[in-house]
Every structure is written in C-alpha cells, then in structure tokens.
A and B are shown apart, each in its own frame.
Chain A
Amino acid sequence: MTSPTRRSFLKLSGFSMLAACSRGLDQKAIPLLVPHEERVPGRAVWYATGCSGCAAGCGVLARSRDGRPVKLEGNPAHPLSKGGLCATGQASVLSLYDSHRLHGPRSRGEAVDWKRVDAEVRAGIEAARGSGTAVRFLTGTIHSPTVLAAIRSFGARFGNFQHVQYDALSSSAQLDVYEKMLGTRALPRPRFDRADVIVGFDADFLATWISPVEYTRDYRAGRSLEEDGRHSYHVQFEARVSLTGANADRRFVRSPDGLRDAISELAVAVARRTGASIPLTATPKPEIKELAARLTAADRGTTLIVCGLDDADAQKTVAWINTQLGNYETTLETGRLSHQSQGSDTDLLALQREIRAGAVGLLFVAQCNPTYDRPGLLDLTKVNTVVSFAGHDDETASKAQFVCPDHHPLESWGDAEAVDGIVTVSQPLVAPLFQTRALVDSLNIWTGGTDGDASSAYDLMRATWKQALLPRAGAGAGSFDTFWAKAVHDGFAKLKPATVRVKPPAASTLRASAREPGTEGLALVLYAKTGMLDGRHANNPWLHELPDPVTKIVWDNYACLSATAASRLDVKEGDLVDAGGVKLPVHIQPGQHDDVVAIALGYGRKGTDRFAHVGPDWLEGDPTVEDGEFVGKNAAVLRGKARVAVKTANGRRVLACTQPYQSLTVPEELGGDKRPMVHETTLKEHRRPSASPEEAHGSHGGSVDLWPDDHRFKGHHWALTADLSACTGCSACVIGCQAENNVPVVGKDEVARAREMHWIRIDRYRDDGDVAHQPVMCQQCDNAPCETVCPVLATVQSSEGLNQQVYNRCVGTRYCANNCPYKVRRFNWFDYPHDDRLANASLNPDVVVRSRGIMEKCSFCVQRITEAKAEAKREGRPLRDGDISPACVQSCPADALVFGDRNDPDSAVSKAWTDRRQYRLLEELNTKPSVGYLSLVRNRDV
C-alpha cells in the first residue's frame, strides 16, 4: 500500500495555499506632511559633524537616510583626520540606537522628570552657595569651547569652584613636563609625516595613543616608496606587543623598567654625540648606540621621539632629547598645540584628599567614570550631592544622587578644539531619542537660563562662537553668520593659533626614573585596546566582536604572557590565572617581554551583562557572558601597581580567537616551508633601480586559461588593491564594512566555532618577530571556484568582474564556502537579530538583511557601485575614478586600499595594478582575483 508521504502532502496543500493567496499583508506608505527641503525619500544626505569616540576630535561625515543617521565616515576636508575614522568612531553610530541608554533624568535611582530633578539640583546648588562648601566639576578631557565656557560661567557663581580634568588613559606626566616647557597645559603635536627617524617608547600611536587616526595618516604620509620620497625609519621599544610595535621597522622588547633605562641610555648616547653634559649615568646598549648615531646623523628637526610612559622623569628626558635634536617647531609642532589629552592626576589626587576630608559638598561628574577607571579613589559617599551627566547608568552614575543624562553626540550641537585653532563642529542629525538634555543646557537652566528651550544648546554655542571664536578667525572670516554657516557646512573652523615659546628643560634637571620596587610576580602593563579604549564604549557589541588587531581575540580581556612566562607558571592558553586578585584567562603572546603580564583596560563594565544572550540561542550554544557577569574583568583595580603576583587559578575560559595561528611557516611535519601569502622586501631592495619585479618581490605565477574568452569585461572591471606597506591593521575597515553591510553580531561562542560574520578580516602573521597585516575580503575572482560548484547559480560572475552572491537564490549548500581558497564566505547558521531592537534603526536600507541558511560575503559594496553609476548617469557624465569607494576603502586612515576600474588605464587602481610590488593571493590557483596586494616594504637597511 502506498501511504501519502510528507512530501506529497506539502505539495498538494502548498498548491492550494498559493491559489488562496492574495496580497499577504496590506502595507501603509506614510509620507511626510510637509516636504522637507533637504530630504528626498531614499536619498542619503550627508552632514559634516565631529566624532566623540575619544578626545582626538576627528571630523566626520554622517550619512542620514530618511532622517536616521546610519553611517559615519571620515571628513576628507578635516585638517586632523583627513578622511580617516577609526573603528571606535565608526561604531559610535550604533551607540546612538542603544536602548540601554538612560531614557531620562534620575533622582536617587528613580526615573523622574526634568522639572523635579532641576528643582532638586537647584536646591543643592543653593545649599552649596549658602554654605560656601567646595564645588567641584570632574570631567575627562574637555576641549569644547562652548562646554568650557559654560562650566566657567557656571563655576563663577560659587565661591570655591574648580574644574578638575583627568583621563582614564592618562598623559598626565607628559602634560606636567610640557606645562613647564610651554607655559600652558598642552602637548606639542607630533608630526610623524615630517620625521625621518621615529622612536617610540611604549606609545601605541597607531592604535590608541592620544590621536591615532591623525597619527596614522601622518605616519603613512612619511613613508613614501617613491625614489626621492621620505620614508621614515621607525624603532619601537615596548614591553607588550602593541599595534604600533607590530608596524615598526625595528622593535625592541624591554620590561617597563628597561624602557625607562633605554630612555636614559638614549639620552646619554645622544649627549655623547652632541657633546652635551647631563647628570644621567647609563651604559648604552649597542642598539641604542646605533640609534643615537642615526638620530644625530639625521638633519636637525627631522627626528621624533615619542613616549607613552606615564613617568615625568622619562618624559622630561625624552623632551630633552627632542630638544637636542632640534625637533621642536618641526616634528613636534608647537604652532598648533594639542589639547587632545589634558587631564591632571595631581588635580585628581587633590580632589581625592578634599573628598576624604569631607570638604566637597557638591560634585558634578561629566564625560568620565571615576568609580570604574579609578576604583576606590573617590569616596562619593562623603560628598553631599553628586550630579552625573552620564548617558548610561554607569558605575559612577549609579552612585550619584542625580543623573542628568547628556545627549548622544549625534543628537546635539557641540564643538571641539582638539588642536589649537582647529575647531570641529558637531551638529545633531536626529532629534533626541530619549528625554536627554545637553550638558550646557542643564548648566544654563540651573543658573536661571531659559527653561526647557530645546534650542538653547544651539544658542549657547553660537553665543560662545560669536564672542570667543570669531575674533580669532581673522579678517577673512566675514560676518558672524558667514563664519558660522561655513563652519557648520565644512564641519570645522580654522582659527589663528596662540603663539607659544618653548622653554627647553635644563639638562641639569634630568633624573633617572625611580626603579619600581620589588621583584616578586611579574611587571604589570595595563594597556588600552583598539576599539574599547578606556571602556566608555563597552555597550557597543560591534567593538566587542572586533578582533583585537594583535591577538585576534574577541569579547574578552585576558592576561597576556610570553611563552616563557606561561611555561614558568605552567599554564596554557585559556587557563585562568589570578593576577593581583583579578582572575583572567591567559593568552600566550609571542614577542612580549618574559617578565611582563599585560592586561587590557576597559573591560568588566557595568551593564555588559546585557550581552549574555547576544547571538543565537540553541542547544549547544554557550552564552557570551554568564548570567550576571560582565564582559571581561576590570583591570583598573590594579592601577598603581608596578608588579603583581600571578598565580594559577583553577578553571579555564575559552578565548574566542579568529586567527589562532601565528605563522606563515608550515609545521615541520608538513614540509616546513613558508607560504607566500605576504610578499616582503626591504626599502633598499625596492629602490634598487635594476631590481626586476621578480627579483625584488618573488615570482608571479603564469596563467593558462581553459576558456580565455569566458569573461571579457568590456565595460568596467572593478578591482581593489591593498598596500601591505600602508596597512597598519587598525581594523577601521572591519567596522566600516559592518556598518555599511548590516553585518550581524554573532556572539563569542559562534566566533569560537569560526562562524564570525565579518566580510573583511585582517590576517596577522608573525614570523621571526616580524608582523604583517593583510586585509582579506572576497577576492572577486574572475575564475571563481565558488561559482562552479553552486548548484543553483546563486553565485555568478557579473559583466563587471564582480562575484555576485544572490541571497534570494541561495539554498545554503555551503559548497561555495568549501571551495573558496580564501575562506571569505560567511554562512548564516542562524538568524542573527540585534540583541537590542532599537539597533535595527542603524541598518543600512540599501543592503538586504540576510536570513538564516544563506551564504554571504563581501560584495565590493555593490550598492555603492550602482548608486554612483545611477548618479553619474543622472548627471549625464561618465563615472570618474574615485566616485566609488567601498566602505573599507573609504574608512582606511592609511589609504592602504584603492578601488577602481581596471579597464580605465588612468585609474589609481590600474596604476597600482601595474606596480612592481603587485601580487595576488594564491595566484598559482589561477583564480584571477580582482584584489591585488602590494608587497610589504620594511625599512631595514638604509
């Protein structure tokens, strides 16, 4: 007997269903009531604004679609960032759509309305004024002229008022030194583009130190490969492995004490060569001697020494060496001083004493989180009234009586004078999503200003600009309205900088840094991690899932140990250790000093327990964080300790790493040869005129075609090149791509199963201590192996050389991913909805949100290609080179990526394609990728 099968039942009933279908769901289309001047539905509008991811003050172009900001990109006209934007900056658009932000003011932990909180804060202010008690305003670095003016005028109402600034990632010691040298608390601006020799002591200036995008741009500009161009020689001394160290031409590993010694040694060696006499005694090591020779041999003012140690003696010695080498005014620009870090640890300690003595009656806390990043320092219970302006219910805000949440930067007016005379303007792109209020507004209202006037932040900012900035703009600025309109349009204003004179430190005052006492345990290095920085972005899942550029680990912080230190402790990768009371998994970091344990700051933030259920919920899945726990551990509790005891602790914690292997060398048992993924050469070899491409950069495979005429690409032939010499591995492109292409967050467990979804990855290889970074996205092969195996033709070649993935055709066999030699295809094992529904508003409406069971991959941002083509056609002109810039190319602060039409002989990509450094990945497979790589050039033997 034949029984009906499930299949036949479905067939029949399905057919009847189809027949019964009419329009599934009636949908409404609701237009605006009154047409908006700037807004055409479906058309993006760009506004110039400023980034507030850190205090660097980069310029941003924000893309708004139908009233929602959906993408942030660097503003090419901005004098500091020049079109670059780091991962943190790009990710801050997601933080706007964060439903865990405070929805309104709070009074003693209870949600109240603004009227009530205003009345209560006013009462607190009046009480403080009456009693004459100390009023303190504690902030991170603030260089906004408007906010500073507002705080000043607010403080003028009190008898005993002080604005205290401190930085979680402190440059206080360096500032202390320069305050004496410059007469103002600011830093000279390092100009990496003007330096022939760069020496870094623990300053991670390409990733997290002060203003990484600006520095990356400059650094790149100073590393030309042209015959007569400047190509700097970069030496880095460091204890852990930083991204900057990984990019250096020479990298020397020193313990934290050893770093201080190295600075003294360099000072002594330079003094010997210049004939100066200094009270330092040290015996320079050979490499220091050689470096000193190189520094003194270079023209005066063409070298640059930067130091990231928070140690005044070391900083002073570095300033002295820079003076000896004539670097002020040239590579250390004092014409435009940097205000990107202004905090003073001395002031913070003074505040601690005042609070402990019970002298502070009223404390305002804005743009900082001292309870988290200086644990136990400030005893807020001893302050009568604490008012916080935090946007989240963070560690400090939850201890404050009143929380008056500030807007997200994309919701409010603002300005930033990060560098003297360059003022970035921020403008709101969207009305505040919650009942938040600008800080200047709050201060204004409490001092009797207009109550609840939504535009008052704008008015206050204009007033400050008219009063304080217009006079500095010079005669050419015109009327205030012209000046203002231009500044808002451009996103910044250029003013005349203040003039300062540098008073070099007297050689006689140089001192060797105090040795850190003790020998037990390991020397502690606390560092900021790319993306997460001091922890202020801990609510952003994109940044948690961004693989660390050095370790490639996501969703955790960990104790980095060298292999020797780990074997001494008898621990393996992932084993828990107790470092000074903080229990962390071990990550074995090749290239780190043996006597060092390095731990990232910025983790263990309150509120990150929200990520417990990020990613798919399935039987075998593990949560990203255990219920009630935070992402990572707060290492700030170890601040101030030079050494910590590191003991093994019971247990393990799996670290999710996107690239656990380090080396390009195949294991001995498999042949032991080095795979040619990264081609390398030296500057000397590269510039040798007779060097043939093969000689200098290794051989290129020939190609034979079975079907030579299969793909002719008569119109455009899109291609991309990645310059490995320029790529620093900063990972801005990864987040840029994520924002542009609606790439989901999958959670730690999925990443550990190698199911991360990023369309672009940065491969990091470490061989013989040298690190190479290689961005790998879909190679858009002309002979694509994926296409030949797809049974449903869901991935096919376009007439313009794109390897297209058609989501609605894909049935999820995953044959293509198996056949892809570059492993760039990503499969949707699940639906990956946002953990926060509000975050759906950040989706790019031009790109499909992929569902479960289909394959996806880099598309060369095909939506941008079609958009640019449609616009060119509309304007009746041919496409120009540079019209199309995929998200990764656009976001690169180092200009390492170039995109364009290979069929246009004048395009930048065509030129790169014929560069003798050019090669392609796995060329021997004859896949004919449309992504080319330019080999890595190290400056080793000038």
Chain B
Amino acid sequence: MYRTRVGTITLLVGLALALVSLATRLSALRVPGNHQGYSPTQPIAYSHRLHAGELGIDCRYCHVGAEQSPHAGIPPAGICMNCHTSVSAPRADVLAEAKKAEAANRKPELVVSPEIRKIYRALGLNDKRERDPKLERDPIAWMQVHKVPDFVRFDHRSHITASVACQDCHGPVETMERMRQHSTLLMGSCVDCHRKKKATLDCGACHQ
C-alpha cells in the first residue's frame, strides 16, 4: 500500500514536471543530443557576417586546420593580428575621428574599438599594439558551438578534400552575426549525405 502511494506521488510530480517543461519549451522539443540553433554569447562579438560575408575572407584563412587536420581549429589570436595590426576599429569610427581631428586642427588619435581591444589585451598589447609587460597574456576562451560526441571522430580534412562546402554542414555562416549551429549534427544527417554522395557507410569511419 505504502509503495503504491509513494509511486503515485512520484509519478504525479514527474508528470507535472513534464507538463510544465513541455508547456514552456514546446518549441525546443527535440531528441537528446540535438543542439541545433545553439548560439552562445562569445567573449568577443566577432561577426562572421562581416569577415566571411562582407569582406569575403575565405573560411580556411582563419580555420587553418580544416584542410590538413580532423579539426578545423579556432584561430589563435595571432591570426587576427595579421589584419588587426593595422585595423583597430571600424572604418566609420576612424573616419569620424579623422573628421573631428581636422575640425579641432589636431592629429587624429588612434581609435581602438572595444571588441578589438580584447584581442590586444589577450596578447598583452596596449592600445598602441606594443607589448606591455604589465598586461598578462591570456588566450581568448571562445565558446564551442559545434560539438560531436566523444565517440565520433569527424574529419574536416576528408570533407574538404571531397569538396564538401563548409556551408553544407555549418549553414550560411557568412550571414551570421553570431555563430549558430545550423544543422542538427546528428548521425542521421551524416548518413543521409554519405548515402547521397556514395561515401563510406562503414561504422568504423567515424566510430573508432
């Protein structure tokens, strides 16, 4: 009798919980492991739309590993500095400062945008992009967006070699202000594509 009552209560509590969560997150109802749409806030408001879309920088310019390694890799701050040694703020801000300086009849000051300053700080550089020993060098802790489970080995290299476009899995990254997981990255989507392209369907190709 006691057992039944406890059982009933737990069941009811469970049901209630289920209903509440279903009601509030009905839109998010999905199978476990599917993180489609995941788009965490990043430590630097980096825009793929600007860099990959507007400026047309090739994905592989920053994600150097994609062609030669299983991991595409998240670019080291040093790669940002290839351009941001000379680009320290949006063009509009620099022009505005130039205009202001002209009006005040002074030399324009160096404008450093708050987001780009974060790169400099990570590298221990001051606003003049000189090494400041007082500043501690600290790598940028990006939030990982795309992640497959530990028991899956995805190899970027093979897919690039097979001319799979980055967008096929990552979606229209060149339009994303903030990075977002476009596909489900579930096994079904892998297998569908592999079937279509007559790629290997051996389990051991990904599960090692």
The answer to whether the Cβ of B201 comes within 8 Å of any Cβ in the partner chain is yes
Contact, CB under 8 Å: B155 / A41: no
CB B120 to nearest CB in A, in angstroms, measures 12
Give Cα A19–Cα B26 distance, bound, in whole angstroms. Answer: 7
Give Cα A863–Cα B22 distance, bound, in whole angstroms. Answer: 41
Give Cα A912–Cα B10 distance, bound, in whole angstroms. Answer: 65
Give Cα A802–Cα B200 distance, bound, in whole angstroms. Answer: 13
User: What total of chain A residues lie within 8 Å of the partner, measured CB to CB?
Assistant: 54
- Chain B residues, Cβ within 8 Å of A804: 202-204, 207
The answer to whether the Cβ of B111 comes within 8 Å of any Cβ in the partner chain is no
Contact, CB under 8 Å: B78 / A34: yes
A874: which of B8, B161, B202 is its contact (CB, 8 Å)? B161
Give Cα A16–Cα B19 distance, bound, in whole angstroms. Answer: 7
Give Cα A22–Cα B200 distance, bound, in whole angstroms. Answer: 31
Contact, CB under 8 Å: B65 / A42: yes
Give Cα A29–Cα B65 distance, bound, in whole angstroms. Answer: 14
- Chain B residues, Cβ within 8 Å of A23: 35, 38, 40
Across the interface, name the chain A residue whose C-beta is closest to B156: A42
The answer to whether the Cβ of A627 comes within 8 Å of any Cβ in the partner chain is no
CB A681 to nearest CB in B, in angstroms, measures 36
Choose, from B46-54, B86-94, B143-151, B167-175, the stretch at the interface.
B143-151
The answer to whether the Cβ of B105 comes within 8 Å of any Cβ in the partner chain is no
Give Cα A847–Cα B140 distance, bound, in whole angstroms. Answer: 28
- Chain B residues, Cβ within 8 Å of A33: 76-78, 122-123, 137, 139
Question: Beyond A3-B3, A33-B123, A42-B73, is A19–B25 a contact (Cβ under 8 Å)?
Answer: yes
CB B149 to nearest CB in A, in angstroms, measures 7
Across the interface, name the chain A residue whose C-beta is closest to B41: A26
The answer to whether the Cβ of B7 comes within 8 Å of any Cβ in the partner chain is yes
Contact, CB under 8 Å: A18 / B31: yes
- Chain A residues, Cβ within 8 Å of B140: 30-31
Contact with A along B175-208 (1 / 0, CB 8 A): 0000000000000000000000000111111011
A40: which of B65, B122, B158, B207 is its contact (CB, 8 Å)? B65
The answer to whether the Cβ of B29 comes within 8 Å of any Cβ in the partner chain is yes
Contact with A along B4-27 (1 / 0, CB 8 A): 100110110011011101100110
Question: Beyond A3-B4, A799-B201, A874-B161, is A808–B207 a contact (Cβ under 8 Å)?
Answer: yes
Contact, CB under 8 Å: B15 / A806: no
Across the interface, name the chain A residue whose C-beta is closest to B31: A18
CB A786 to nearest CB in B, in angstroms, measures 14
The answer to whether the Cβ of B97 comes within 8 Å of any Cβ in the partner chain is no
Question: Beyond A35-B76, A42-B69, A870-B161, is A8–B144 a contact (Cβ under 8 Å)?
Answer: no
- Chain B residues, Cβ within 8 Å of A568: none
Contact, CB under 8 Å: B21 / A19: yes
Contact, CB under 8 Å: B18 / A19: yes
- Chain A residues, Cβ within 8 Å of B11: 4, 8-9, 12
Most buried by B among A23, A798, A806, A849: A23
- Chain B residues, Cβ within 8 Å of A714: none
Give Cα A800–Cα B202 distance, bound, in whole angstroms. Answer: 8
The answer to whether the Cβ of B165 comes within 8 Å of any Cβ in the partner chain is no
- Chain B residues, Cβ within 8 Å of A619: none
The answer to whether the Cβ of B70 comes within 8 Å of any Cβ in the partner chain is yes
The answer to whether the Cβ of A236 comes within 8 Å of any Cβ in the partner chain is no
Give Cα A23–Cα B147 distance, bound, in whole angstroms. Answer: 10
Contact with B along A845-877 (1 / 0, CB 8 A): 011110000000001001101100110011000
- Chain B residues, Cβ within 8 Å of A848: 150-151, 207-208
Contact with A along B117-141 (1 / 0, CB 8 A): 0000011000000000000010111
Across the interface, name the chain B residue whose C-beta is closest to A802: B204
Across the interface, name the chain A residue whose C-beta is closest to B82: A35
- Chain A residues, Cβ within 8 Å of B70: 42-43, 870
CB A505 to nearest CB in B, in angstroms, measures 59
The answer to whether the Cβ of B100 comes within 8 Å of any Cβ in the partner chain is no
Give Cα A859–Cα B202 distance, bound, in whole angstroms. Answer: 13
- Chain A residues, Cβ within 8 Å of B162: 873
The answer to whether the Cβ of B74 comes within 8 Å of any Cβ in the partner chain is yes
Contact, CB under 8 Å: A27 / B144: yes
Across the interface, name the chain A residue whose C-beta is closest to B9: A4
| Complex interface residues of chain A between 270 and 315 (CB less than 8 A to chain B) | none
Give Cα A593–Cα B142 distance, bound, in whole angstroms. Answer: 67
The answer to whether the Cβ of B79 comes within 8 Å of any Cβ in the partner chain is yes
User: What total of chain B residues lie within 8 Å of the partner, measured CB to CB?
Assistant: 64
Contact, CB under 8 Å: A13 / B17: yes
The answer to whether the Cβ of A28 comes within 8 Å of any Cβ in the partner chain is yes
Contact, CB under 8 Å: B76 / A34: yes
CB-based A-B contact count at 8 angstroms: 172
- Chain A residues, Cβ within 8 Å of B153: 846, 863, 866
The answer to whether the Cβ of A796 comes within 8 Å of any Cβ in the partner chain is yes
A9: which of B7, B64, B151 is its contact (CB, 8 Å)? B7
Question: Beyond A4-B11, A23-B38, A846-B208, is A31–B150 a contact (Cβ under 8 Å)?
Answer: no
- Chain B residues, Cβ within 8 Å of A9: 7, 10-11, 14
The answer to whether the Cβ of B56 comes within 8 Å of any Cβ in the partner chain is no
- Chain B residues, Cβ within 8 Å of A20: 21, 25
- Chain A residues, Cβ within 8 Å of B22: 16, 19
Give Cα A708–Cα B153 distance, bound, in whole angstroms. Answer: 33
A31: which of B19, B123, B142, B155 is its contact (CB, 8 Å)? B142
Contact, CB under 8 Å: A43 / B69: yes
The answer to whether the Cβ of A618 comes within 8 Å of any Cβ in the partner chain is no
Question: Beyond A807-B151, A807-B207, A874-B67, is A15–B18 a contact (Cβ under 8 Å)?
Answer: yes
Contact, CB under 8 Å: A806 / B139: no
Give Cα A387–Cα B208 distance, bound, in whole angstroms. Answer: 48
Contact, CB under 8 Å: B29 / A866: no
Most buried by A among B10, B69, B71, B203: B203
Give Cα A28–Cα B71 distance, bound, in whole angstroms. Answer: 15
A13: which of B14, B31, B32, B64 is its contact (CB, 8 Å)? B14
Contact with B along A783-820 (1 / 0, CB 8 A): 00000000000001011101010111100000000000
| Complex interface residues of chain A between 124 and 164 (CB less than 8 A to chain B) | none
CB A860 to nearest CB in B, in angstroms, measures 9
CB B152 to nearest CB in A, in angstroms, measures 8
Most buried by B among A20, A847, A859: A20
Give Cα A859–Cα B206 distance, bound, in whole angstroms. Answer: 13
The answer to whether the Cβ of B157 comes within 8 Å of any Cβ in the partner chain is yes
Give Cα A324–Cα B58 distance, bound, in whole angstroms. Answer: 75
Contact, CB under 8 Å: A31 / B75: yes
Across the interface, name the chain B residue whose C-beta is closest to A2: B4
CB B142 to nearest CB in A, in angstroms, measures 5
A802: which of B29, B122, B144, B202 is its contact (CB, 8 Å)? B202
Question: Beyond A33-B123, A40-B64, is A28–B144 a contact (Cβ under 8 Å)?
Answer: yes
Contact, CB under 8 Å: B8 / A4: yes
Question: Beyond A9-B10, A9-B14, is A866–B205 a contact (Cβ under 8 Å)?
Answer: yes
- Chain A residues, Cβ within 8 Å of B110: none
Contact, CB under 8 Å: B74 / A43: no
The answer to whether the Cβ of A514 comes within 8 Å of any Cβ in the partner chain is no
Give Cα A809–Cα B202 distance, bound, in whole angstroms. Answer: 14
The answer to whether the Cβ of A506 comes within 8 Å of any Cβ in the partner chain is no
B64: which of A35, A807, A859 is its contact (CB, 8 Å)? A35
CB B170 to nearest CB in A, in angstroms, measures 15
- Chain B residues, Cβ within 8 Å of A869: 158
Contact, CB under 8 Å: B73 / A31: yes
- List chain B positions with a Cβ less than 8 A from chain A: 3-4, 7-8, 10-11, 14-15, 17-19, 21-22, 25-26, 28-32, 35, 38, 40, 64-65, 67-71, 73-79, 122-123, 137, 139-144, 147, 149-151, 153, 155, 157-158, 161-162, 200-205, 207-208
Q: List 28 A-B contacts (CB under 8 A).
A: A1-B4, A12-B11, A15-B18, A19-B28, A20-B21, A20-B25, A22-B28, A23-B40, A27-B143, A30-B139, A32-B78, A33-B76, A33-B77, A34-B77, A35-B64, A40-B65, A40-B73, A43-B68, A43-B69, A804-B204, A846-B153, A847-B208, A859-B204, A862-B204, A870-B157, A870-B158, A873-B158, A874-B68
Other than the given A16-B19, A866-B208, 9 more pairs (CB < 8 A) read A4-B7, A19-B18, A29-B142, A40-B65, A41-B71, A41-B73, A804-B207, A849-B150, A859-B204
